[in-house]
Amino acid sequence: MQHAQQPRLQVLNGTEERHPPVSYWTLLKNRTFLRFFAAQFVSSLGDWIGVIAIAVFAQGLAGNAGVGLVMTARVLPGFLVGPIAGVFADRYDRKKLMVGADIIRAFLIFSVPFFESLVYLLVVSALL
């Protein structure tokens, strides 16, 4: 027995509004969303390539311990600073903030091959 899909319920300021479900194709037809989606896809792909590249560099410089340190440096700042940074980030234009952050992250990643130092990798990992 199939159940009819119920419209999503959205509650805003104590009022209920029902919106029909939106398909992925509908979203991808929206040019603004498509540009945002493509930019986020490229950014995420770059992030993961960066994680792998930094891990490979750390392995070459300090072995498994270096990889562990770099991965810890990558994750720890998000836990410690993330909630506070989110409050400040909400006060600024999201588009400018995202573009600026992507430019800074690209600069950091492109600088990695020029510095053969585990300390530099740790700093870059923490900033990413």
pLDDT in tens, the chain (128 residues): 555 555 555 555 656 666 777 787 888 788 888 888 898 898 889 888 888 989 999 999 999 999 999 999 999 998 998 888 888 888 888 888 888 988 998 899 889 889 889 999 999 999 98
SS (H, E, C) the chain: CCCCCCCEEEEECCEEEEECCCCHHHHHHCHHHHHHHHHHHHHHHHHHHHHHHHHHHHHHHHHHHHHHHHHHHHHHHHHHHHHHHHHHHCCCCHHHHHHHHHHHHHHHHHHHHHCCCHHHHHHHHHHC
Note the pLDDT of residue 67. Answer: 94
Supply the pLDDT for residue 68: 95
pLDDT of residue 50: 86
What is the model's pLDDT at position 47? 85
State the Cα–Cα distance between residues 89 and 64, nearest whole angstrom: 35
What local confidence, expressed as pLDDT, does residue 73 receive? Answer: 94
Backbone angles phi, psi at 2, to 5 degrees: -95, 140
The answer to whether 8 touches 19, Cβ cutoff 8 Å, is yes
pTM summary value: 0.67
Structural domain boundaries in the chain: 31-127
